[in-house]
Amino acid sequence: MTLPKIVYRLPQYTARVALPLMKFPEPPTLKGAGMVTRFPEVIATTGIRRVLVVCGPTVYASGMLSPFLDALEANGIVPVVFHGVSPNPTFKNVYAAIEMYQSHFCDSVVAFGGGSAIDCAKITAAKITNDKPIERMAGLFRLAHRLPPFFAVPTTAGSGSEASIAAVVTNEERHKKLKMADAKLCPLAVVLDPELTRSMPADVTAYAGMDALTHAVEAYIGLFDTPYVREKSLDASRRILAALPKAFDDPDDLDARLTMQEAAMDAGKAFTRAMVGYVHAIAHAVGGLYNLSHGLACAAILPRVLAFSKPVATQKLAELAYNAELGGPECSDEELADALIAEIEAMNRRFGIPQTLDALRVEDIPELARLALAEANPVYPVPRIMDYNDCIELLGKLLPEDKTPRY
């Protein structure tokens, strides 16, 4: 092991010892079809009177928000709707939401939507009580004050943001994503209503589901794999591999959709404790530069990173595969690890997710590698440390064939 890699590992090994002693919040969760209209009864117990509801334009235009807003009013809560969240939430989105919160004298925040809406709502709420630039909130445990009452209503099954202590926002001027993590970012309560995910387009169902699978897998193969993390990751990955194709094929399969919501939330709990890895670091870099769907980027990158990690993560990959019944006891660890990677590639093909990233440009690869490694090293407890040349090589494999240099 080279000196830089030893330096990376030292704080990770220290954190691994301390991790089991840390306490992480787990929001109480209301589950079931139609429960979104009962959720305001839970929210009302906090005594709030005027809530900022943060969502995206698609959710707002769909009409799915209306029953929730009516239920809020029936419980004596005045809703104020901010529906300007971008697919990758930006600084501009956050400041616009804050202005609406303050001008309408709100006292609480509800996120209603996918990971983008939840992340935007988290950072909006954090800024309201923490008077510092967003850049200074990025990183680990940088929030001095708790958020105003904050609740989450996920309408996708993927980000796990409703259960995590993390949030991501894009500095649109610098085309760079910033990530923050703090226990104060966890919602007070969550509702999982599978009817809310029914209207998701098939591609969004796939992208969100592959994001959730990435959370579970990266948490499991990393160094922070406590018994809790292993339990949540194994269960989440198994359920996603089984339920995601069903949810993709049949939007009305509410059992599969609730299973996906529960698995995504468990994966969020797992990566809250175990963090993520190079899939997310690279996806954040390319997503920030090209404004790509995060789930799409994760899906394309995941098999490449697992192949890179396999030399030191074969046993863990095999355990994930065996638990998901991708092979039996007669299979070697090598065969099971290969089966997991092959299954992920097969799911990508089934969902129409390409093996490469069309937006990727050769000339951007050096900067993307720098950004990805700056995020990941030494923070993420990855099984195999990637250096600059490794990252350049992996990004090269994500180039479409017509952009691949020929020598």
Domain boundaries, the chain: 3-20+200-397, 32-197
> Do 3-20+200-397 and 32-197 share a fold?
no
Exposure letters 84-98 (e unless 16+ CB within 10 A, then b) = bbbbbbbbebbebbb
DSSP per-residue letters across 269-306: HHHHHH---HHHHHHHHHHHHH---HHHHHHHHHHHHH
**Distance (Å) of CA 171 to CA 84, 288, 314:** 16, 8, 37
pLDDT per residue of the chain (407 residues) written in tens, 0 to 9: 566 677 888 878 777 877 777 788 899 999 999 999 999 999 999 999 999 999 999 999 999 999 999 999 999 999 999 999 998 899 999 999 999 999 999 999 999 999 999 999 999 999 999 999 999 999 889 999 999 999 999 999 999 999 999 999 999 888 888 989 999 999 999 999 999 999 899 999 999 999 999 999 999 999 999 999 999 999 999 999 999 999 999 999 999 999 999 999 999 999 999 999 999 999 999 998 998 999 999 999 999 999 999 999 999 999 999 999 999 999 999 999 999 999 999 999 999 999 999 999 999 999 999 999 999 998 999 999 999 999 999 999 999 987 776 54
pLDDT at 183 (0 to 100): 93
pLDDT tens profile 229-280: 999 999 999 999 999 999 999 999 999 999 999 999 999 999 999 999 999 9
Check if the beta carbon of residue 385 is closer than 8 Å to that of residue 237.
no
Q: One-letter amino acid identity for 24?
A: F
Check if the beta carbon of residue 54 is closer than 8 Å to that of residue 217.
no
Is the CATH code 3.50.50.60 the one for domain 3-20+200-397? no
pLDDT tens profile 89-128: 999 999 999 999 999 999 999 999 999 999 999 999 999 9
pLDDT at 16 (0 to 100): 82
d(CA 181, CA 186): 10
Greatest alpha-carbon pair distance for the chain in Å reads 69
Q: In what order do the strands lie in the sheet with 108-113?
A: 29-31, 189-192, 150-154, 108-113, 50-54, 78-82
pLDDT at 1 (0 to 100): 57
Global pTM value = 0.92
Residues linked to residue 270 through DSSP beta bridges, in sequence order? none
pLDDT at 407 (0 to 100): 43
d(CA 276, CA 302): 12
pLDDT at 406 (0 to 100): 56
pLDDT at 4 (0 to 100): 66
CATH number of 32-197, picked from 3.30.360.10, 3.60.150.10, 3.40.50.1970, 3.40.50.150: 3.40.50.1970
